[in-house]
Amino acid sequence: MMTAPAHDTILTVAQTCHRLSLSEPTLRRYIKAGIEGFPRKIQLGPRRVGFSSRDVAAYVDRQRQAAMHIPEHS
C-alpha cells in the first residue's frame, strides 16, 4: 500500500501523469469529466495547474484497493 507523503507537495501535470500512468490528454479528460475521487487540480496561475501529492497518492491507493476487490469471472 502506498502511503501519503509526509508533507504535501504540488505535482506538475507531467509528474501527475507519470504517477498515475496516464497520458496528458487522458488526465485532462478525467478532470473535465469530474470523475469521483479523482485528484482536484490546483490553479497555480492563468495557464498552470498542479495536483496535491497527497491527493494523487490517495487516489492510487483507492484504485489499488478497488482492483483487489473485483470478483473474478468464471
In three-state form (DSSP H/G/I as H, E/B as E, the rest C), the secondary structure along the chain is CCCCCCCCCEECHHHHHHHHCCCHHHHHHHHHHCCCCCCCEEEEECCEEEEEHHHHHHHHHHHHHHHHCCCCCC
pLDDT digits (tens, 9 = 90+) for 37-52: 999 999 999 999 999 9
Q: Amino acid identity of 8?
A: D
pLDDT digits (tens, 9 = 90+) for 12-68: 999 999 999 999 999 999 999 999 999 999 999 999 999 999 999 999 999 999 888
Q: Amino acid identity of 57?
A: A
Which CATH architecture fits 10-68? Orthogonal Bundle (1.10)
* Domain positions in the chain: 10-68
Dist CA 48 CA 70 (whole Å): 36
Q: Is the pTM of this model over 0.85?
A: no
